Each structure stands twice: as C-alpha cells, then as structure tokens.
Structure 1
Amino acid sequence: MSEERGLFIYGIVPSDVEPTPDASGVGDPPGEVTVVRHGRVAALVSEVPLETALGRPADLTAYQELLDGTAAVAPVLPVRFGTVVTGPDAVADLLDAHGDRFASALDELEGHVQYVVHGRYEESALIQSVLDDNTAAADLADQVRGQPEETTREQRIRLGEIISQAVELRREAENRDLLDTLGPLATSALARPPSNELDAVNAAFLVEADREDDFVDALEEFAEQRRGLIHMRLLGPLAPYDFVSAHQLAG
C-alpha cells in the first residue's frame, strides 16, 4: 500500500519565481521544492507524507532558509509553518480564492526585506545601573550582601521586585527609542514581545533594499551608545514573517 502524500506550502510568490536547483524542503529525506502557479501568483511547495509529523529543528531550519533565500531575490508571503494540503488542486484552489489579495501584498513587499533587532541586557551591568539609580534598591542590596538567604528573604524578594519593575520600564523606554531611531528608515516597524526577562529591545522592521545601509549604520550608532549595558544582535535579511499576518493561512 503506497504512502499518502500531500504538499507542504512554504510561501506565496510571484508566478515567475523559480526555486534554485539546490533548494531543499522539509522532511527526511528533504523534499524537492517545486512551484504551483495560478495567474499572477504561485506557491512554493514540496511533497511530504501525510502521516509524518513535521516539527524537527531541521524542518524549521529548512522552512526558514527557503523563505529567507527567496526574500533576497523576490517578494514572498510566508505561510504558517506546518501548512499541508492534499495536492496541487488544493493549492490551485487556494491561489484562485485569494490570488488578488496575495498579488497586491506581493506588490507592496517588492524590494523589501525584514530585519529583527534584538538586544539583551548584560545582567551585572543592568543590576549595577538599577542600584545606581534607585536608593531603595541600593539600601536593600547592602542589607542582603553577605547575609544568609533565610534571614534576608523578605529584603531579597523586595529587591527582586524593584529590579524587575525597573527592567520593564527600561525595556519600554529602550523599545520606544529604538523605534523612534530606526522607524523613519523603515517602511514599517513593530515591537515584538520579550523572549527573556533580560530582553532590552526586540523589534521587527520592514526595510527597502536601497535603505539597508542607512538602517544598519543607524543601528550601529544606537548599539554603540549602549555598549557594555546591552548586547545587540541584528537578524536578517529575512522573509517578512512579522508583516504578513493578514495573509498567513491556517494549517
């Protein structure tokens, strides 16, 4: 009995896009990436067994690498990871039903890529900065320093609360500063939720290709002003994952 197979959909692209010969998809072994076209738009797909669960780190990596590589040369609407349909006819029906909306969104994304700016506080520098700015916190730190935890439990809890509140306020301020600084150099920008309690900034930006250098230069200056306090990372160029939610499909 042959294994039932379906099509994993990676993203929606203009109909003239061709996958590179070495493009590989999800699964083990990786599926060959092909295109299903309908009018002005097309879908990047690969065959997968319908009974096989997809979700290995290697699968997510393959999904992201294909979309990010595509975004470097053509606009792409990422489809939610794990979206599988029964075959080419189901893909064609999807493209037929939403083709105009997809085409309009692709036109808007032409010449754009996404960047993610993520910054995390250096913990010791952050705590020292909070103590320098907050007399109550500094007093509590003096009270617990060198003392047994069991006898200073209440002070330690209160100190932790003060530091946590300070980090939250600073995070809000840093994200505002980041968006104010880089937002004018991007077509669109949005704050992302923190991924860690020590996160200082986390935001996504949709940037035109001809403004990438200015964007990176402005970020470097922003990071330099916070050197020693915040470790900054720039991720990209990426597919516009954060800017196509209205066009993503249910699995």
Structure 2
Amino acid sequence: MMTKRSQRSGKYIYALKAATDKQQVPLKGINKASVYTVSHGKVAAVVSDILSPKARPERRNLAAHREVLKYFTEAETVLPMRFGVITNSTQSIQQMLTNNESLIVNALNELGGKVEMGLRVKWKVGNIYEYFVNHYPQLKDARDQLLIDQKGKSTLKNRDEKIAIGSLYEKLLNQERAAHQQIIEAMLQPCCRKIKTLPPGNEFEIVNLACLVDRENLDDLEQYINDTATQLSNDCHIDFTGPWAPHNFVDLDLKVLAS
C-alpha cells in the first residue's frame, strides 16, 4: 500500500513497465527524490515526487533521468518517457494507466527482451570540407577556379559561384552518407530487429542509427560492428553505445491527465 504524499507534489514520470508487487526502489531520481511505482492492473509508471511544475533540462536532471531508466532497463523491459513529463497527482497517473493499459501491454510485449543500441559513424579528419575537396576532383576544380577568378569579378557572381560550390559539397556529402548507410545497414541487419535512421549531429557524422536488438544478441552485435568496420575506410570511426531503453522504438500516444 502506498504511503500518503503531499497533495502539492507533482509526479515526475520516467517510464512505463509491467506491474509488480515491488513499489519502492532503492534509487534517487530528479532532485534526489525517491523513485517508486504507481500501478494499475498489469502496468505501472516509474515516478518520483517533484515540487516544481517543470523539470529544467540541466545536466544533473538529465543524468538522473537516464540513471533511473538505466536501472530498470538492466532488469526488465520499460517504455521510456521523454524528459520532463509531469502530472499533478497519483490519480491522474492511474487514470492514464487505466485508459491505455492494452496499448502499454502490447508495446511491452513487442519490445520484450529488446534494448536499443546507438551507432554513430564519423569521419576522423581535421577539416571535412578539405577532405572532400581532396577526394572529389570536380569539387576541387570548382573551388580552385573560384580562387583564381575571384579578382576582378563582381561580388554577385562570386556569391553565386560560392553557392554553387556549397550545393555541390552538400550533394557529395549526402551521397557519401547514403552509400555508407547502405553498407552499414546491410551488415547489421541480421543482428537487429529494427534499425532507425536519426539525423546526423554535425558535418563530420556520416551515419547515426538506433538499433533495436535482442538483449541476448548484444555480444553478436559487437562482432557484427567489428566486421562492419573492416568494410569502411580508415578515415571512418565507429562509436556504439548502450544498451538503452528503446526510446526510438516507442510509439504511444498517451495522455497524462493533470488532475
């Protein structure tokens, strides 16, 4: 039975999971508040009390959110909530669980025994533009011609040429990304349930993937990644992280009632 808590306290929600008898958790969350579960039927929400109506996306709060998810992900399947989801009461959480129990159960069944791994491939070069200039003669010729012809030309014409060179660079950059992604996905597909493409974080990033993997296949995935590395040039670096809760593979339209 849950202890009575202040009516003024909001409830910060970290994740949804299957209900268990265990409600208190030996873990601290946002603002070092105790983490516990609120259950209804077959499902539960992982929460902690919070006095503020909003959780600021500061480093310590983001780290606390991740640590709670990591704790539960190591032991069971969870459906992670985005950072900052707060409701006013335990009753509103129970109402959300009541309204969405079948959706939550289906999602937990679909993701059962699976975790998310992040895979990023980057160019490990000092200047990515110069790297492309040195590898693509058409880009080098266009750049060199601009440098030669700049003197005496109008500012407008120089600007148009720069825009054209920039467009060519972007085209070549995207072509390289697509080619690398095709190779990488083909290599990893046998070990992954699903692969989702995420936007590159910067110019140096070639591929950014979220991979849904059976927990029991994590060792195999590492070998697949090592094999993939042999198919890429020495100018590429592979970085993979996890296991994480499957953030990029949860697609639930839930409403948390503020009551």
TM-score (norm 1): 0.85
Pick from 9, 16, 22: which aligns with 2:13? Answer: 9
1:48–1:247 distance in 2 versus 1, CA, 3 Å = same
Is the 1:79–1:248 contact (alpha carbons within 8 Å) kept by the matching residues of 2?
no
Give secondary structure in 2 for the equivalent of 1:81: coil
> For 1:59-208, what aligned pairs fall within 5 Å after superposition?
59-124=61-126, 127=129, 130-143=132-145, 157-208=163-214
1:26–1:69 distance in 2 versus 1, CA, 3 Å = same
Is the 2:53–2:86 contact (alpha carbons within 8 Å) kept by the matching residues of 1?
no
RMSD: 2.9
Is the 2:92–2:256 contact (alpha carbons within 8 Å) kept by the matching residues of 1?
no
1:167–1:20 distance in 2 versus 1, CA, 3 Å = farther
Q: Which runs of 5+ in 1 are unaligned?
A: none
Distance 1:25 1:150 in 2: 64
Give secondary structure in 2 for the equivalent of 1:246: coil
Distance 1:24 1:136 in 2: 57
Is the 1:4–1:51 contact (alpha carbons within 8 Å) kept by the matching residues of 2?
no
Shift of residue 135, structure 1, vs aligned partner: 2.3
Shift of residue 6, structure 1, vs aligned partner: 0.8
Percent identity, aligned pairs only, is: 25
Deviations 1:91-137 (A, max 9, x none): 11111111111112112211111001012223447556534553222
TM-score (norm 2): 0.83
- The count of aligned residue pairs is 248
Is the 2:177–2:207 contact (alpha carbons within 8 Å) kept by the matching residues of 1?
yes
Shift of residue 217, structure 1, vs aligned partner: 0.9
Is the 2:77–2:113 contact (alpha carbons within 8 Å) kept by the matching residues of 1?
yes
Shift of residue 20, structure 1, vs aligned partner: 7.7
The one-letter amino acid of 1:37's match is S
The one-letter amino acid of 2:244's match is L
Shift of residue 226, structure 1, vs aligned partner: 2.6
The one-letter amino acid of 1:67's match is L
Deviations 1:39-90 (A, max 9, x none): 1111100000144543222111111121122112100011122111111111
The one-letter amino acid of 1:35's match is T
Q: Which runs of 5+ in 2 are unaligned?
A: 1-5
The one-letter amino acid of 1:215's match is L
Give secondary structure in 2 for the equivalent of 1:4: coil
